[in-house]
Structure 1
């Protein structure tokens, strides 16, 4: 479900544990947010690998680096022949030419993670150089008038 407004877009993909039956693209358990949120500077996917599941191929990118942010579970990611254990709280950035694959090493728990792709070396501004703090008090509207 998504809702788009002038200055923002909202999407609710549901619980990661429910992604096992979702198929977008080549893999089960992956939801891309680019179209639903009308993203223009990155691709984001929400991912679930079932117990003992794996990405069954190596891949790399032409221009995009990837940031993997692990939220739950445990696994191993392989980059250029090196293996790294991953679990809740692990983040790993992979350059476009990094040849990668991923697997869930748990026999009982899903591996839940977010992948953000953006063009390598394209970040020219970030929160400290791009953010503008406005001189106005924060006010909250009542719950009944919020977007649902």
Structure 2
């Protein structure tokens, strides 16, 4: 279902499809995961779209050498464990984990998939953000005039 559009000078598009379709996709070590780094030509982060089926779990603990991770939960309910501490996650929960945090995740629902996005970036590498990097342009917003 992954549909890529030709990369442009200033943007890339990947239409991955519905999260419900990811359950049987295997990229890397886990089923239900789609990585976006290569398809979108990402240069400062790795992003994955994830579907963990009912009662499914990540089958191993892991940590990172340099990258912190941000987990953003979109649907479902689960339980996260970081450094032996367990806590619930559900739609609207965001969890940031330092590289050394030992982590694992499970879907606690017997009937609903757990949908989430994971963003990895090098810890302490963010030097600018919206207020310090964004530039508001003095031009009117127009729609329906795409340049091909």
Alignment-derived partner of residue 30 in structure 2: 27
CA 1:88–1:146: 2 relative to 1, 3 Å: farther
How far apart, CA to CA, are the structure 1 residues paired with 2:50 and 2:132?
31
Alignment-derived partner of residue 89 in structure 1: 92
> Is residue 141 from structure 1 mapped to residue 144 from structure 2 by the alignment?
yes
Alignment-derived partner of residue 113 in structure 1: 116
The runs of 5 or more residues in structure 2 that have no matched partner are none
How far apart, CA to CA, are the structure 2 residues paired with 1:2 and 1:38?
12
Alignment-derived partner of residue 62 in structure 1: 65
> How big is the shift at 1:12?
0.6
> Is residue 103 from structure 1 mapped to residue 103 from structure 2 by the alignment?
no
Alignment-derived partner of residue 47 in structure 1: 50
The runs of 5 or more residues in structure 1 that have no matched partner are none
Scaled by the length of structure 2, the TM-score of the pair is 0.95
Q: Deviations over 1:61-93 (max 9, x none)?
A: 000000000000000010000001000000000
SS in 2 for 1:117: strand
CA 1:94–1:136: 2 relative to 1, 3 Å: same
SS in 1 for 2:13: strand
How far apart, CA to CA, are the structure 2 residues paired with 1:64 and 1:120?
5
How far apart, CA to CA, are the structure 1 residues paired with 2:23 and 2:50?
9
RMSD: 1.2
SS in 2 for 1:19: helix
Q: Across the two proteins, how many residue pairs are aligned to each other?
A: 145
